[in-house]
Amino acid sequence: MKLKRLTDLIEIVKSLEKKTLIAVNAVDGHSLEAIAEAVALGIVSAVVTGKRDEIIKQCAEKRIDQSLFQIIQAETDDEAARLAVQLAAKTSGCILMKGLISSDKFMRAILNKEAGLLPAGGVLSHVAVVDNPNYHKLLIVSDVAIIPYPTVPQKIAMTHYLKEMALDLGILRPKIALIAPTEQVLLSLVSCTDAVEVMKAAENGQFKPALVFGPMALDVALDPESAQIKNITSEVAGDADCLLFPNIDAGNVFYKMNTKLCHAEQAAVVMGANVPIVLSSRGDSVRTKLNSIALAALLNK
């Protein structure tokens, strides 16, 4: 079934087998609210790590039933991350979620070779689904949170993740745009020269059944009129399903602009590990966190 809008995601996931959510240092009310709602909807069962007293206090303040979670005591956020990652490594069908812990500590725990969450040679990348009311379908974008300035091999891995996410959302022939300021191959722009290298992989069939095109400016990727004016005839032009951003600067600005100015619904996960990872931001709403839990559950079907 093709997911047309994020509002449909919860109902789709409710029909799947329940997953185990393991939340790292979930001592903040926002995370606990989202987790509690996911448990109440039957999407997940939940384990949270962190200071037990603080978790119970936050549950009382938010009027959350603390019995919805299994609480694993941890004195520090480092300990909370270590315990959660260890549990995730041995729990089948689980999801790992970031609570109130810095992203660098969270990622360090995941990247620990002894934890066994990252396959050899694996690339972790953040993939977001954006439901902008001004676009005619969902947009899948990467990377807005993890890889600052990806190399060509990393961009090739990120393109694979975009394709995989699109297929999981029911898009049979994903259209992936390699975003740059222009369609011209300007040697002075890394975004353009890297897009040429990713296109070589596409031409060798690496991303089938996806269609990949770039370099391509954002207006051409999303607006048929702009594509027509610029005489860009690719099927991707004006109808992209996925956007590969050249760096975190472009991706992060796009993501936050959609949130704050367009009031878009969003969901996001980190792909590339042995389990789906919800890397929620302190600025994300409860709804975005709930959407992200549901998206992770869909990927781990």
* 36-89 confidence digits (pLDDT tens): 999 999 999 999 999 999 999 999 999 999 999 999 999 999 999 999 999 999
C-alpha gyration radius of the chain:
19
From residue 224, alpha-carbon distances to 80, 140, 210 in Å are 48, 18, 19
pLDDT at 281 over 80: no
Alpha carbon 152 to chain centroid, angstroms: 20
Q: State the chain's mean pLDDT as an integer.
A: 93
Residue 253 domain flag: yes
Kindly state whether residue 267 falls inside one of the protein's structural domains: no
Looking at residue 240, its pLDDT comes to 98
Residues 58 and 162 in one domain: no
As a whole number, mean pLDDT of residues 128-149 equals 95
Q: Tell me whether residue 1 is in a domain.
A: no
- Evaluate if residue 273 carries a pLDDT over 80: yes
If asked whether residues 34 and 159 sit together in one domain, one would say no
For residue range 87-110, list pLDDT tens digits in order.
999 998 899 999 999 988 998 999
Claim to verify: residue 104 and residue 188 sit in the same structural domain? no
Question: Looking at the structure, do residues 240 and 133 belong to the same domain, yes or no?
Answer: yes
Q: How many other C-beta atoms are found inside a 10 Å radius of the C-beta of residue 17?
A: 9
Residue 234 has pLDDT above 70, yes or no: yes
Residue 177 belongs to some domain of the structure = yes
Same domain, 169 and 279: no
Q: Is the dihedral angle over the CA atoms 173, 178, 182, 187 positive or is it negative?
A: negative
**Nearest residue to 79 (alpha-carbon basis) of 108, 36, 59, 55:** 108
Residue 118 confidence (pLDDT): 84
Q: What is the pLDDT of residues 164-208, one digit of tens each?
A: 999 999 999 999 999 999 999 999 999 999 999 999 999 999 999
Percent of the chain with pLDDT over 90: 84
Residue 37 covered by a domain: yes
Q: Is 19:43 a contact under the CB 8 Å cutoff?
A: yes
User: Residue 147 domain-assigned?
Assistant: yes
Residue 280 pLDDT: 79
- Residues 215 and 233 placed together within one structural domain of the fold: yes
What is the helix, strand, coil percentage profile of the chain, to 5?
45, 20, 40
Q: Are 256 and 280 contained in the same domain?
A: no
Residue 155 belongs to a domain with what CATH number?
Answer: 3.40.718.10
Q: Give the total number of structural domains in the chain.
A: 2
pLDDT at 122: 85
Q: Which has the minimum average pLDDT: 14-28, 105-119, 151-165, 264-278?
A: 105-119
**The domain that contains 283 carries what CATH number?**
3.40.50.10950
For the residues 102-123, what does the mean pLDDT come to? 86
Query: Do 110 and 131 fall within a single domain?
Result: no
Is 202 a member of any domain? Answer: yes
Q: How far apart are CA 168 and CA 272, in angstroms?
A: 15
Is there a single domain that holds both residue 90 and residue 52? yes
Q: Which two tokens stand for residue 22?
A: 């393991």
| Gap between the Cα atoms of 177 and 215, Å rounded | 8
**Does residue 148 share a domain with residue 31?**
no
On the question of pLDDT at 301 being above 70, the answer is no
- Do 71 and 172 lie in one domain? The reply is no
In a domain, 160, yes or no: yes
Same domain, 132 and 255: yes
Mean pLDDT, range 264-279, rounded to an integer: 93
The answer to whether 159 and 196 are in contact (CB under 8 A) is no
Domain that holds residue 133: 125-260
What is the rounded CA–CA span in Å between residue 25 and residue 291? 20
